[in-house]
Amino acid sequence: MRKYIFGTGLLSAITSGLTLFRSLRSNEPFTWRTALGWLSWGITLALAIGAVVDTRRSARGKLIAGDSPLSKGEQKRLLKERVKR
């Protein structure tokens, strides 16, 4: 589990989230740029969590979605298993 939590994508998403939280403390008004920053952070966090979930599912031998970057490797693994049988 440690290798998933300390992945670079998740760490960078958390770090950028901390930066956004610090910007809330300042007395600056909430602008459209701030809203886009929060939206971007939410998308980045969702993609990082999705990558962790896909990696974990792939490591356990479960099927993953076809839009995942790991799906090509999974197709190769499934073909190797079929050839072995």
Q: Which of 71, 17, 72, 21 is nearest to 48 (CA)?
A: 17
- As given in the structure block, the two tokens for residue 60 are 């356990």
Provide φ and ψ at 42, rounded to 5°. -65, -40
Write out pLDDT tens, residues 59-81: 777 777 777 766 666 666 666 65
Write out pLDDT tens, residues 23-66: 888 887 888 988 999 999 999 889 888 888 877 777 777 777 77
Number of domains in the chain: 1
C-alpha dist (Å) from residue 34 to 9, 26, 45, 82: 21, 12, 16, 51
User: Residue 54 belongs to what domain range?
Assistant: 2-84
C-alpha dist (Å) from residue 15 to 43, 49, 64, 80: 14, 14, 28, 39
**pTM to 2 decimal places:** 0.69
